[in-house]
Structure 1
Amino acid sequence: MPATSTARDRMVAAAYELFEENGYDETTVDQIAERAGVGRTTFFRMLGSKEAAIFPEHDVLTARIEARLAAATPRTRQLAIFEAARTVLDHYLAEGELAQARYRLTRTVPALRAREIAGMQRYQQIFREHLAGWLGEENALLAEVGANAVVTAHNHVLRRWLRGLTEEPHAEFEAAMEQLTALLGTAVRQAGEGASFAATPAAGGSVVLVLPSELSPEQAADAVRAALS
């Protein structure tokens, strides 16, 4: 551990070492504090529990995601979704072996797995809330599906990296998000441009689609394709 490391860094490192050596359930707070060179009171003041030593600072990550999505304009929403999702991926990649050790622990300790799922659900909720605000109440289902898809795309790539199945997580993430954009992007873009999503069935199996006059031909074509699909 570098001399410049913080007390929190030392406690996290000590916790992982002991979890690997003795097992999660068998490791005590006192053992972690002793190896990190801090007191028991310091441990509880800075971390609060053994679980808190395992997971990244979700409050910090969620604040970054919230800020990026909130800063999006109608024409930059797709980019905001991409960058917000990549924020989480980049955090785990930067952790390196620490993230891989966490993955091993969460696969074997049910309580840690439950907390990991709760964290993913929080990220999903943030995306859902912003998508719902952009798309409108009439597209609540699309917002729900979109949020699920964003988190799923991120997790798919992250797990492949954690399992050693890819050495190019950023490239795979970009490819996954491109596929997602093909499914979700048109709707998000049209909502930002004021397009109507009301496709009304007409006689003879036709569809009547109302679009704003300022749409470009390409945008109008995208809207038609979306309605017919």
Structure 2
Amino acid sequence: MVNESSRERLTAAAFALFEEQGYEQTTVEDIAARAGVGRTTFFRAFGSKDDVIFPHHESLVVAVRDRLTAAAPDAGVPAIVEGARLVLTHYLDEGDLARVRYRLTRTVPALRHREISGMQQYQRLFREFAASRGIGGDPLHAELLANAVVTAHNYVLRRWLREVGADPLDEFDRAMADVLRLFGGSAGAADERAAVVVFRTTRDLDAVLPGIRLVLEDARPETLS
């Protein structure tokens, strides 16, 4: 078993070499040498050169699954939103490594396919969770919800990767407010006009209030004439 320090050195070495000389031109031997370890150590840490591009994907999938599994029975959509937030904050914490990966997946088809496969894993987790909780009472609704969350997450993430978005967490809150506006009340009883949902956030109250207002305004009862 390779310790985390060696994995981190290998990851940093690989990303630096990919930027310097290109993905196809970089060998496993190059990465191991830059990291100061042997070729055998590399393959103990990663199954292939592709794997080093997504060093934390499997553990992140487990973290999202655990978050959904631990959700309260009535958590519903907010639990899925928090799962998506885990993924986004991971990318933000990676910083420049995430941007290097983004450039690589735009130019190397095999890595692009790997990225899409990873995205589909999250989408499947969200869909299965929504279906298991009976959100909307319809498999199609669970599919649409999962698609909406992943699409909104990816939109915010891509803007940050391209250095367009100024505050990705604020944009995420706004994007998920739209998702909540569309799906947030769907897990309640059929005769309910609206549902109030709560999820944790590190954002300032002023930053999330606009999204909350949108949800509440959409949930106001119609006026009888």
Please report the TM-score for the alignment, with normalisation by the length of structure 1. 0.80
Q: Separation in 2 of the partners of 1:37 and 1:107? A: 29
* Unaligned residue ranges in structure 2 (runs of 5+): 196-217
Q: Secondary structure at the match of 1:147?
A: helix
- Say if 2:75 is the partner of 1:76: yes
Give identity over the alignment, percent: 54
After superposition, what is the alpha-carbon deviation per residue over 1:152-201, rounded to whole angstroms, capped at 9, x for unaligned? 1110000000001012000000000000001111113x1xxxx24xxxxx
Q: CA deviation at 1:218?
A: 5.5
1:46 — aligned with what? 45
CA contact (8 A) 2:11 2:55 kept: no
CA contact (8 A) 1:135 1:187 kept: no
Q: Separation in 2 of the partners of 1:137 and 1:218? A: 13
Please report the TM-score for the alignment, with normalisation by the length of structure 2. 0.82
2:59 — aligned with what? 60
1:202 — aligned with what? none
CA contact (8 A) 2:67 2:79 kept: yes
In terms of fraction of residues, the more helix-rich structure is 1
Q: Secondary structure at the match of 2:72?
A: coil
Q: Separation in 2 of the partners of 1:72 and 1:29? A: 41
Superposition misfits of 4+ residues, deviation over 3 angstroms: none
Q: Separation in 2 of the partners of 1:146 and 1:218? A: 17
CA contact (8 A) 1:69 1:77 kept: no
Q: Separation in 1 of the partners of 2:80 and 2:86? A: 10
- CA gap 1:80/1:121 in 2 versus in 1, 3 angstroms: same
- Say if 2:90 is the partner of 1:95: no
- Say if 2:151 is the partner of 1:152: yes
1:29 — aligned with what? 28
Give the partner amino acid of 2:184: G
CA contact (8 A) 1:69 1:80 kept: yes
Counting matched residue pairs gives 198
CA contact (8 A) 2:131 2:137 kept: no
Q: Secondary structure at the match of 1:120?
A: helix
Q: Separation in 2 of the partners of 1:88 and 1:28? A: 29
Give the partner amino acid of 1:170: L
Q: Separation in 1 of the partners of 2:152 and 2:52? A: 26
- CA gap 1:137/1:172 in 2 versus in 1, 3 angstroms: closer
Give the partner amino acid of 1:38: V
After superposition, residues 154-169 of structure 1 pair within 5 angstroms as 154-169=153-168
Q: Separation in 1 of the partners of 2:123 and 2:151? A: 9
Q: Which has the larger radius of gyration?
A: 1
